[in-house]
Structure 1
Amino acid sequence: MATSKKKVFSEAELEAMQDAKVERKKGKKADGEADLLAKVAEMGDSDRAIAERLHALVKQNGPELLPKTWYGMPAWANSAGKVVCFFTAAGKFDSRYASFGFNEAAKLDDGTMWPTAFAITKLTPADEDKLAALIKKAVG
């Protein structure tokens, strides 16, 4: 009986893992801002516009967060190197929307349940205001 091998990871997921491997090898030698901006420059127009605006929002509302890449995606980390928030381009995994998420290092706890990621198709001024408040809260 012949068995076929089923792919466990998509090409995009394998690429993200390779990106993470490169990021770990760079370690403290990495230029986080340059790496983040290079990844943003590779994105399609819609994703790039969102990522550029998010980068500006994070710099303005969480200036202590350090830009970096995380699995090949734009991310912002605290001084301990823990990723607080990140952006996933729609084009990265062929999704219908991009997303902006928060990791465990974000100080967003609100009772027993709270949102940690947001789907984004475009950013309106009201959306930016909401995200700015969340970024401020995340860095505590």
Structure 2
Amino acid sequence: MAPSDKDRIQRGFTLIEVLVAFVILALFLGAVLPSLSASLSATRTSNDTLTATAYAQSLIAGVGVEGLITEGEFTNTLEQTRFTSRLTVRPYGGPAATATDARLYEVTARIGWRDGVHRRTVSLTTLRYGTGQ
């Protein structure tokens, strides 16, 4: 049975079918794109937090490496990054704890950065045993 001219004309999509398909696609994208955006933002924040934690661990690891521990507060903008650091070293405990040459020090490393409009901070604190300056 040969197809008639009428059957050949009816093979394509009508304009209304194409418009309905576009509306469905637009609704789907409207629902999915905010989720993708939130996911990308969370991934970036997670990566920044991991980087800041690594910087803070590195700062703490450097305290007292060359012998004497220097008390005080030290700030720095980390090169070629948007991170800033603040390292605080102070004696741990009361006057009895400072009576000897070797003592405990409280070491706090704070790494801060801007994430859009938010200011984020990672803070690590530990105790370090050593001789002060």
TM-score, normalisation: structure 1: 0.28
TM-score w.r.t. length of structure 2 = 0.29
More strand by share: 2
Larger radius of gyration: 2
